[in-house]
Amino acid sequence: MADCSYVKPTKLMLKDQKPEVERKKKKKRKQEEGEETQLDVVGIWYTVANFSDISGTIAIEIDKGTYIHALDNGLFTLGAPHKEVDEGPSPLEQIALKSGYGKYLGINSDGLFVGRSDAIGRREQWEPVFEDEKMALLASNSCFIRCKEAGDIQAQSETAGKQEMIKIRSFQDHRLKISKEDIKFFKKAWKDGFLLETLLDRRAKLKAGR
């Protein structure tokens, strides 16, 4: 009887057909390139990556599409999620060191996030902390803000974990158009901490060209 040896079966591959592993790698590279060129912009609000990006009216995003919302009693809560992809924060979810009611943001003796002051004192001072493209907001009591289960915003944790991670979105002039060709350029400016200056420069050039 002739000796028989086991031959591992292989899938028939046509001339122009690429191996599955190679196709998966190529698909992954395309996805990574797409993520690299995607600027985190919602409507006319972009995510700040450095302290220098924080200017003018801003909004604090706790979760995706969910922002800190000002109440008429000087307190804050977590606003309802925005379902539309390009829908930014509402007027009462926008702050410029002040709430939508014109009061400066601070904390009370219990660390509760409030907006009741007409002037800036020690409790109205904040420090945004950036690390690994993430951000947390440090209050004057050396604690980071987070949203409690009841919807209250408080500064009680001395360390910044997942629940203390937030996004600050800054206002972008709606007249400034960002084309697909500009995305890589703005992405680099965003990472280097010069996004605000770049946007203002682009807006000035547009005005000069009218």
pLDDT band at 9 (very low <50, low <70, confident <90, very high): very low
pLDDT band at 210 (very low <50, low <70, confident <90, very high): low
| pLDDT averaged over every residue in the chain | 75
Q: What is the pLDDT of residue 107?
A: 94
- Split into its structural domains, the chain has a count of 2
d(CA 137, CA 42): 21
Please tell me whether residues 139 and 194 are part of one structural domain: no
26 within a domain of the structure (yes/no): no
d(CA 195, CA 46): 9
Please tell me whether residues 121 and 152 are part of one structural domain: yes
Percent of all residues in the chain with a pLDDT value above 90, rounded to a whole number? 25
Q: What is the pLDDT of residue 89?
A: 81
Domain of residue 191: give its range: 176-208
12 within a domain of the structure (yes/no): no
Q: What is the pLDDT of residue 51?
A: 78
Rounded to 10 degrees, the C-alpha dihedral 95/101/102/107 comes to -70
Please tell me whether residues 110 and 159 are part of one structural domain: yes
Q: What is the pLDDT of residue 5?
A: 39
Please tell me whether residues 202 and 109 are part of one structural domain: no
Please tell me whether residues 96 and 53 are part of one structural domain: yes
Q: Which residue has the tokens 């591992």?
A: 8
Please tell me whether residues 111 and 199 are part of one structural domain: no
- What does the block give as tokens for 202? 């682009």
pLDDT in tens, 78-124: 888 887 666 778 877 767 668 888 899 999 999 999 999 998 888 99
3 within a domain of the structure (yes/no): no
